[in-house]
């Protein structure tokens, strides 16, 4: 009965006009419409008007003739609005032939003012020019006429109906015993005078007066508003357009704040502020003044809003280091709020990383997008593996494309929030986003009107920091001590957008290569600056390169979900980053080489070769050296010849053993060619790679691996042929580049066809078999590589990829069984179930990882790790691991991944756990090969009193424990005489740092990620990220 009464009130001022549009699939100027050419639009089963995709123009028109009354209620003098929601790449709205408003996919709804005061019989023609997206059908989803009071403090039946709806919903949720009184009051509405607006409105005023005591508890509640304009740095537009959109958005907000002085606004991304500062100093000055007046909040703390599953731990640190430093320099203090509303899931170590960068709160709303389960909490502690807890807010969902100030939507959210958290203070973020925009004038007017209503919670504009601080204290006051809030001890996995781990493989590859280059360049440049005090440390160049790479980690660039122009820009930026990294690395290594004292060579024509190890443990690895002929060999420091082999590409191979963050000298000497030739590669009947540890058999009919036999443990690894290239049809998803078809395994494509197989190398140091296979129109060339004394089978891959809507995976079924698999994440690992039981576990059918994934059978004390050098998407079963290699979506980039790809992955069988087998080390070694410097001009050339002279072999840094992994060694940001050493504990075990250096370096004290002093934390706790200041 209550709901019927409320609907009866609305019918006095609302008309659904969705079914009355006439349409023409043609671009027609609004002032030359020929009604005879238009047809009445048909609605689909959802009540939508749709037309085909492909940027087709749909012209819709409708003439409104103002009636005297609706259901008897007089309309004269009321304002008239048209409420619209569309799905169109471009939208133009015309009133009587005049363009009055524009929109797009993001600015996709409006309350269009047709007349400020209507007159009966008045005619108003509205024309909509809508262009369908290139990838999806166009749609008009809602069309409703709304008559409302033209006065700010006036009432009308629709406004009162909304007030009563809000009150009813609160009573139903929290005070159901009062619903009878509510119903009794509604029964006194005098419907007999509905044809007299003044009398009927007076009846509604009396009703409001009667109900105000019931509504009193609503005023104990509040909705805290903060203007917002999520602005993607690039997506369906290039970066250059973002700069212009940002200017328009920021200017709009500042102008609105002149008329609405209580309006507060927030925005992230120092990269964007920096561009404004350089290119629009006047606008930047106005933003700083608004910030000083506390009407503009800078938050987020990260350089951009990045993808946070696919980047290294150090990349996350640099996002915060450079972001927070910029915010502090330009706005006076760092932000305490990490703000990632749109990133595609969140790695489990983020609470620790955020906390160490001065962050007290994390805010996201992305998990509202889950396709399987509803995330259980809205206000909770998020705990990382090391035990760090971070207060986390799940911000309100954007349910309408545009987050407006619709009172029903806001109050329904506030009710849900209170039910879940017990808090009577809710948060709301009005504004148009994705492509910028921010809050609109109409949003503010609606909010201010409802601020005066006695039937709505208090509305006030706030800052995120103020709101979060307030609810933190409320949690304690309401006997819900903050420590008793729910605790989430897991990643924040997004049950959606799982294709982002694989799409646009070029971006993933460039990111991985750039991250490792910047790590190595910075490491060796820092060491060079210690060895030679007058060395010019390239701080400016390194910071610029880092910031370029960080920008490309934005959550629609690195995941591969943008238009082609975005990737053209990104690839140019990646080239610049890598060029800088290579130049600095080469110069640094040669500078260090210039300080090494060489012993007497074993041969008059010997040439020095220096091998550098960028990892903080000793390692032995096969090294390839360019030579001009096959008449050369390798000698060690003692003058002993080493076993060598020429590779298929005529490089000289030898096994080098290099100390932690160190180097070793070898000699390239003339040798007898015949002694170094690889074995003859005659046509083989079977293809076997075998060393001291493994025996591998390749199937000469399929190119799969028939067998991997562990000779030490006497164990067959494979349950069935391994490295099967399994292709699946992967289509039918609206978010094409983002989403893998959840049912893709039901659509397998024909198996790959072997085109050729041949030996390329047969020892004594390296064995290589090449198989070439075809899937559809694409060719896979894969080299199976086994090296001397190595337990790792490498698979070097080159693909000419030409498929459309196909997903391809490399699959390995293993003679193992475990309920869990382990994956590397930034600065840690995570266990995920292989026999998922709950819906949320079952939703993790494709998951992200960095260098590796592992399955270890606890009963057998044996496991297998699957390593990669630029891939991120995995899935696992109790007895198998699968690595996603490539996808081929059509939108937003119609040619995504249709090119040649080069990448590698590897299988690492091991006894014991992944910790005991040092899988973490193997993953880093697979991604960071030894660096070779070969130049006969090497050696001491800069021998001054202040420089270090180095021995022919040395370890420049050691951390001691195997489970500590170096993240960065750099010059301090502010103290020019200090260095910064950062590492993390990688096994989940207690550890102690045993820092030594051949350069006489010593630890000064522990600092946070922003390089501010901390209390020294020893021993090292499990999964801890630790940073020290270091001095000579």
Provide the residue ranges of all domains of the chain, joining segments of one domain with +: 2-220, 222-496, 499-595, 607-677, 687-931, 957-1032
Give the DSSP H/E element, type plus range, for residue 853: strand 852-857
Report residue 679's pLDDT band, with 50, 70 and 90 as the boundaries. Answer: low
pTM of the model: 0.96
What contacts 652, CB < 8 A, 6 or more positions away? Answer: 624, 625, 626, 627, 632, 633, 634, 644, 645, 646, 668, 676
Q: What is the pLDDT of residue 946?
A: 53
Please give the mean pLDDT across all residues of the chain: 95
Q: What is the CATH number of domain 957-1032?
A: 2.60.40.2220
* Fold of the CATH domain 2-220: Jelly Rolls (2.60.120)
Model confidence over 224-275: pLDDT tens digits?
Answer: 999 999 999 999 999 999 999 999 999 999 999 999 999 999 999 999 999 9
What's the CA gap between 1003 and 1026, in Å, rounded?
12
Q: What is the pLDDT of residue 664?
A: 98
Give how far the C-alpha of residue 33 lies from the chain's centroid of Cα atoms, to the nearest Å.
47
Report residue 678's pLDDT band, with 50, 70 and 90 as the boundaries. Answer: very low
DSSP secondary structure code for residue 948 in this structure: P
Q: What is the pLDDT of residue 628?
A: 85
Q: What is the CATH number of domain 607-677?
A: 2.60.40.1180
Strand arrangement, sheet containing 425-428 = 425-428, 222-225, 458-461
Does residue 677 have a pLDDT over 50?
A: no
Token pair for residue 1022? 């499990």
Least reliable range by pLDDT among 403-417, 434-448, 502-516, 541-555: 434-448
Higher pLDDT, 740 or 936: 740
Report residue 1015's pLDDT band, with 50, 70 and 90 as the boundaries. Answer: confident
- Return the CATH class of domain 499-595: mainly alpha
Does residue 1019 have a pLDDT over 50?
A: yes
DSSP secondary structure code for residue 748 in this structure: B
DSSP secondary structure code for residue 994 in this structure: -
What's the CA gap between 472 and 963, in Å, rounded?
37
Does residue 303 have a pLDDT over 70?
A: yes
Q: Does domain 222-496 have CATH number 3.20.110.10?
A: yes
Q: What is the pLDDT of residue 676?
A: 44
- Residue 965's region, left for phi above 0, alpha for psi from -120 to 50, else beta, is beta
Averaged over 120-132, what is the pLDDT?
Answer: 96
Residue from 61, 59, 41, 109 nearest 81 by CA: 109
Q: What is the pLDDT of residue 944?
A: 53
Percent of the chain with pLDDT over 70: 97
Does residue 942 have a pLDDT over 80?
A: no
DSSP secondary structure code for residue 486 in this structure: -
What's the CA gap between 635 and 638, in Å, rounded?
8
The residue written with tokens 């079963």 in the block is 877
* Fold of the CATH domain 687-931: Beta-galactosidase; Chain A, domain 5 (2.70.98)
What contacts 414, CB < 8 A, 6 or more positions away? Answer: 221, 223, 426, 457
**Alpha helix ranges (H) inside 122-178:** 157-174
Report residue 969's pLDDT band, with 50, 70 and 90 as the boundaries. Answer: very high
Residue from 595, 656, 654, 602 nearest 624 by CA: 654
The residue written with tokens 């036999």 in the block is 709
Strand arrangement, sheet containing 724-729 = 724-729, 806-813, 880-886, 873-877, 847-848
Residue 16 near residue 143 (C-beta atoms within 8 A): yes
Does residue 535 have a pLDDT over 50?
A: yes
Task: Say whether 607-677 and 499-595 share the same fold.
Answer: no
Q: What is the pLDDT of residue 227?
A: 97
What's the CA gap between 448 and 432, in Å, rounded?
18
Q: Kindly report the CA angle at 358 between 354 and 364, in degrees rounded to 5?
A: 45
Averaged over 812-839, what is the pLDDT?
Answer: 98
Q: What is the pLDDT of residue 782?
A: 98
Beta strands in 168-325 (DSSP E): 222-225, 227-228, 265-267, 296-298
DSSP secondary structure code for residue 619 in this structure: E
Return phi, psi of residue 476, to 5°.
-75, -40
- Residue 71's region, left for phi above 0, alpha for psi from -120 to 50, else beta, is left
Averaged over 1004-1024, what is the pLDDT?
Answer: 90
DSSP letters of 286-301? Answer: HHHHHHHTTSEEE---
Does residue 401 have a pLDDT over 90?
A: no
Q: What is the pLDDT of residue 484?
A: 87
Averaged over 573-583, what is the pLDDT?
Answer: 98
Averaged over 484-489, what is the pLDDT?
Answer: 95
Model confidence over 886-898: pLDDT tens digits?
Answer: 999 999 999 999 9
Report residue 35's pLDDT band, with 50, 70 and 90 as the boundaries. Answer: confident
Averaged over 690-712, what is the pLDDT?
Answer: 98
What contacts 2, CB < 8 A, 6 or more positions away? Answer: 168, 179, 182, 183, 186
């Amino acid at each position: 009965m209550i709901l019927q009464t409320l609907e009866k009130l609305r019918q006095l001022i609302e008309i659904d006009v969705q079914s009355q549009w006439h349409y023409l699939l043609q671009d027609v100027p609004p002032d030359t419409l020929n009604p005879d050419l238009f047809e009445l639009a048909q609605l689909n089963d959802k009540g939508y008007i749709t037309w085909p995709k492909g940027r087709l123009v749909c012209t819709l028109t409708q003439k409104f003739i103002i009636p005297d009354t609706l259901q008897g209620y007089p309309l004269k003098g009321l304002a008239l609005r048209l409420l619209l929601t569309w799905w169109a790449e471009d939208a133009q709205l015309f009133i009587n032939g005049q363009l009055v408003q524009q929109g797009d996919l993001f600015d996709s709804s409006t309350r269009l003012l047709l007349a400020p005061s209507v007159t009966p019989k008045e005619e108003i023609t509205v024309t909509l020019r809508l262009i369908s997206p290139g990838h999806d059908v166009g749609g008009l989803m809602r069309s409703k006429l709304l008559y409302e009071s033209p006065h700010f403090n006036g009432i009308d039946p629709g406004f009162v109906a909304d007030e009563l709806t809000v009150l009813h919903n609160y009573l139903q949720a929290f005070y159901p015993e009062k619903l009878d009184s509510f119903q009794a009051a509604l029964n006194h509405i005098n419907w007999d005078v509905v044809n007299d607006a003044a009398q009927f409105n007076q009846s509604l005023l009396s009703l409001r007066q009667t109900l105000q005591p019931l509504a009193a508890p609503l005023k104990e509640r509040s909705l805290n508003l903060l203007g917002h304009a999520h602005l993607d740095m690039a997506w369906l537009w290039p970066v250059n357009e973002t700069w212009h959109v940002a200017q328009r958005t920021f200017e709009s907000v500042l102008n609105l704040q002149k008329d609405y002085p209580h309006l507060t606004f927030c925005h992230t991304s120092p990269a964007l502020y920096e561009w404004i500062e350089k290119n629009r100093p006047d606008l930047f000055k106005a933003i700083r003044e608004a910030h000083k007046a506390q009407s503009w909040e800078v938050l987020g703390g990260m350089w951009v809003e990045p993808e946070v599953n696919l980047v290294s731990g150090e990349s996350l640190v640099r996002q915060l280091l450079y972001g927070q430093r910029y915010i502090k320099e330009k706005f006076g203090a760092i932000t305490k709020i990490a703000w990632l509303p749109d990133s595609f899931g969140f790695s489990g170590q983020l609470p620790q990383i955020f906390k160490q960068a001065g962050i007290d709160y994390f805010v996201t709303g992305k998990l509202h997008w889950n396709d399987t389960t509803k995330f259980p909490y809205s206000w909770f502690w998020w705990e990382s593996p090391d035990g760090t807890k971070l207060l986390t807010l799940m911000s309100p969902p954007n349910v309408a494309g545009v987050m407006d100030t619709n009172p029903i939507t806001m109050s329904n959210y506030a009710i849900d929030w209170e039910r879940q958290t017990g808090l009577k203070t809710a948060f709301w973020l009005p504004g148009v986003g994705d492509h910028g925009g921010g809050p609109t004038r109409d949003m503010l007017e609606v909010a201010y009107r409802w601020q005066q209503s006695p039937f709505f919670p208090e509305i006030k504009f706030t800052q995120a920091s103020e709101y979060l601080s307030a609810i933190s204290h409320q949690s304690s006051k309401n006997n819900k001590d903050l420590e008793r809030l729910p605790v989430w001890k897991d990643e924040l996995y997004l049950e959606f957008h799982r294709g982002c781990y694989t799409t646009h493989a070029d971006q993933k590859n460039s990111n991985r290569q750039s991250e490792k280059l910047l790590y190595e360049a910075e490491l060796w440049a820092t060491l060079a600056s210690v060895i030679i005090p007058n060395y010019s440390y390239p701080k400016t160049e390194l910071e610029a390169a880092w910031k370029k790479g960080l920008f490309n980690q934005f959550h629609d660039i690195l995941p591969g979900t943008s238009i082609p122009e975005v990737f053209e820009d990104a690839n140019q930026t990646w080239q610049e980053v890598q060029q800088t990294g290579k130049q600095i690395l080469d110069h640094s290594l040669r500078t260090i080489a210039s300080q090494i004292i060489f012993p007497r060579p074993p041969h008059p024509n010997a040439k020095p070769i220096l091998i550098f190890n960028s990892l903080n443990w000793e390692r032995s690895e096969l090294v390839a050296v360019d030579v001009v002929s096959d008449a050369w060999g390798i000698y060690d420091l003692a003058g002993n010849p080493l076993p060598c082999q020429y590779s298929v590409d005529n490089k000289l191979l030898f096994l080098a053993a290099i100390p932690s963050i160190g180097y070793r000298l070898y000699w390239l000497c003339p040798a007898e060619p015949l002694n170094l030739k690889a074995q003859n590669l005659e046509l083989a009947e079977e293809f076997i790679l075998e060393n001291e540890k493994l025996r591998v058999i390749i199937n000469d009919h399929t190119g799969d691996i028939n067998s991997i036999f562990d000779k030490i443990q006497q164990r067959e690894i494979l349950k069935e042929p391994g490295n099967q290239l399994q292709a699946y049809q992967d289509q039918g998803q609206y978010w094409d580049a983002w989403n893998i078809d959840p049912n893709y395994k039901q659509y397998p494509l024909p198996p790959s066809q072997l085109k050729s197989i041949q030996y390329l190398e047969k020892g004594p140091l390296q064995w290589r078999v090449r198989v070439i296979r075809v899937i559809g129109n694409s060719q896979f060339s894969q080299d199976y590589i086994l090296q001397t004394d190595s337990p790792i089978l490498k698979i070097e891959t080159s693909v000419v990829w030409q498929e459309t809507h196909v997903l391809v995976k490399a699959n390995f079924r293993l003679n193992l069984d475990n309920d869990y698999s382990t994956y590397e994440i930034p600065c840690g690992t995570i266990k995920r179930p292989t026999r998922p039981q709950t819906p949320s576990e079952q939703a993790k059918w494709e998951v992200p990882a960095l260098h590796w994934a592992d399955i270890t059978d606890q009963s057998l004390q044996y496991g297998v790790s699957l390593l990669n050098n630029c891939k991120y998407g995995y899935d696992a079963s109790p007895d198998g691991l699968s690595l996603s290699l490539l996808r081929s979506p059509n939108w937003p980039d119609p040619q995504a991944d249709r090119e040649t790809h080069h990448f590698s992955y590897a299988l690492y069988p091991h006894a014991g756990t992944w910790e005991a087998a040092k899988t973490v080390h193997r993953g880093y070694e697979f991604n960071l090969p030894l660096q070779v410097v070969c130049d006969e001009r090497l050696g001491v050339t800069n021998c001054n009193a202040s420089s270090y002279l180095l021995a022919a072999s040395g370890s420049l840094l050691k951390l001691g424990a195997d489970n500590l992994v170096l993240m960065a060694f750099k010059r301090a940001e502010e103290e020019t005489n200090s260095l910064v050493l950062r590492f993390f504990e990688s096994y989940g075990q207690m550890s102690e740092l045993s820092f030594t250096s051949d350069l006489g370096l010593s630890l000064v004290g522990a600092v946070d990620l922003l390089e501010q002093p901390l209390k020294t934390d020893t021993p090292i706790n499990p999964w801890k990220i630790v940073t020290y200041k270091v001095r000579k």
